[in-house]
Amino acid sequence: MKKILWIFGTGLLILTIIVVIGVGFYLGPIVKVGMESVGPKTIQVPIKVDSVDVTLLNGTAQVKGLMVGNPEGYTAPQAISIGSIGVRVDPFSVLSEKIVIHSIQVKSPQITFEGGLRNNNLSRIMDNVNAFAKKVLPPGNKPAPKIVVDDFLISSAKVYVNLKGWGSKKMTLPLPDIHLTDLGKSTGGLTPDQLAQVILSSIISETIKAVSVSVTGAVQDVQNTSKTVVDDVNEIAKSIKSLFGK
């Protein structure tokens, strides 16, 4: 009898593992479709993903070839392009009301900054996210699960700048690493749009700082600086202060 139970238990365990692996195999394409269909409703620009690989056994996922499109009126084909994103999640939390993500690592993203310091493609996307976050769910709609992120890191990012109002100045700038921790922990979790707000605001803040420092430095190297340029630099400084005052 014990032998039969042992064989039955072993067979059940093997079957469970096979099911988990099978679900993980099909979950990647499902997540990919979700990102490409739900994401654009939040940020109002196209999102394309090459592939998503999910391993439920250890709670890891790999997103490859993520492209975030540019809003209408801007010339670059995309606002953000990322080769690889690594995610490590608590697998037991995926189906709960609060998803716990242990880490998100974004490596070598390419960010396009197009426009002015205060009105640009990134700020337009941020406005779209803010507008979506204010929408009220229709009656009967189930709220989105809350998300907690223990560790979020963007490393080795580059910004391709097409700055309007300065003779369409173009340059490529490195961004310092963006490292955020304990996102949503103190509030019981963030909704997906709230998480997008936090991450986008960090990217925009660091991008504007890098662009303003570069432009201001270039202006200081010019001996005969016109009053118009000086006024523009002062406006940049005000933009930075107002951004961090929010």
Quote the pLDDT of residue 240: 44
Q: Enumerate residue ranges in the chain where pLDDT < 70.
A: 1-34, 136-141, 165-168, 216-246
Task: Indicate yes or no: pTM above 0.85.
Answer: no
Total number of domains in the chain: 1
Quote the pLDDT of residue 159: 92
Look at residues 110, 207, 104 and name the one whose alpha carbon lies nearest to residue 156.
Answer: 110
Q: Which residue has the tokens 């809003």?
A: 71
Look at residues 75, 67, 69 and name the one whose alpha carbon lies nearest to residue 51.
Answer: 67
Quote the DSSP letter at residue 117: S
Q: Which residue has the tokens 């000086």?
A: 230
Quote the pLDDT of residue 105: 92
Phi, psi (degrees; rounded to nearest 5) at 177: -60, 140
Q: Tell me how crowded residue 66 is: count the other CB atoms within 10 A of its CB.
A: 22
Domain span including residue 175: 2-244
Q: Residue 190: how many CA atoms within 13 Å on its side-chain side?
A: 18
Can you tell me the distance from the alpha carbon of 246 to that of 239, in angstroms, rounded to the nearest whole number? Answer: 11
Q: Tell me how crowded residue 89 is: count the other CB atoms within 10 A of its CB.
A: 21
23 φ/ψ sector (left φ>0, alpha ψ -120 to 50, else beta): alpha
- The answer to whether 75 and 106 are in contact (CB under 8 A) is no
Let me know how long the chain is. Answer: 246
Can you tell me the distance from the alpha carbon of 106 to that of 3, in angstroms, rounded to the nearest whole number? Answer: 50
